[in-house]
Amino acid sequence: MYILAPSVLAADFSKLGEDVVTVAEAGAKYIHLDVMDGAFVPSISFGMPVIEKLRGCTDAIFDVHMMVEEPGRYIQDMKKVGADIICVHQEACVHLDRTINQIKEAGCKAAVALNPATPVETLSCILDQVDMFLIMSVNPGFGGQKFIPYTIEKIKKLRKMLDDAGLKTDIQVDGGVTAANVRTLIEAGANVFVAGSAVFKNDAAANTKEFLEIFKEYE
Ligand code: DX5
Ligand code: ZN
């Protein structure tokens, strides 16, 4: 199944709830929430209070992308405010195995993200431990950046590693994803697509539907 996860980072923060409802009603299954701490990534975005308020606006799955040093510190808080999936960066966790277990014990789905320059082979020990892997296709920290082409090979490699292990784990891609390049990403083996600017520029409902129409070509 192919899933669109609009990143609210590109939404209009003065009417965030409305924007989230718009994309959810247009058919986006996940809402991608980019939490940035100004340490792991240069920018600061939003945290628990904003997510808690949004939780009251929709039943869509909340996919929380933690761009935070040692995100294990916030798992309980994120669960409490309504996170369904908690995604942590491999590069931000000294004890990644423990953090993954804590996410699962909290009752959330566990996802692990890799920065563009981190090889997928570093995931070999935890292949069967998580529900989703996130291949970053830009350097995390900002929306609206250009897609880094070499990350396509990483998606292909990771899908092969999962196939060889008999696993059907989701592969998510985040950064510079558009309706123009999403077919290439599907063909590389990804199935969950984060899109910020490509969804929220101009007509968010129409952009969401455009992605969903493309997904139908592959289902
Ligand atoms: C980048 C964030 C992304 C970002 C994507 O650090 O993780 O989720 O919002 O934005 P676009 O789709 O505009 O590249
Ligand atoms: Zn993200």
Burial of 78 by CB count in 10 Å (0-12 exposed, 13-18 middle, 19+ buried)? buried
pLDDT for res 115: 99
155 HSE (CA, 13 A, CB side):
26
CATH number at residue 159: 3.20.20.70
Total structural domains within the chain: 1
Give distance in angstroms: CA of 65 to centre of ligand 2: 5
Q: Write out the residue range of the structural domain in which residue 165 sits.
A: 3-216
pLDDT for res 99: 98
Confidence of residue 24 (pLDDT cuts 50, 70, 90): very high
* Mean pLDDT for the stretch of residues 165-183: 98
pLDDT for res 17: 98
Q: Which residues line ligand 1 (CB under 6 A)?
A: 7, 9-10, 32, 34, 65, 138, 140-145, 174-177, 194-198
pLDDT tens digits for range 78-91 = 999 999 999 999 99
Burial of 133 by CB count in 10 Å (0-12 exposed, 13-18 middle, 19+ buried)? buried
pLDDT tens digits for range 92-141 = 999 999 999 999 999 999 999 999 999 999 999 999 999 999 999 999 99
Give distance in angstroms: CA of 166 to centre of ligand 1: 30
What's the angle, vertex CA 97, arms to CA 92 and CA 102, rounded to 5? 90
Q: What percent of the chain has pLDDT over 90?
A: 100
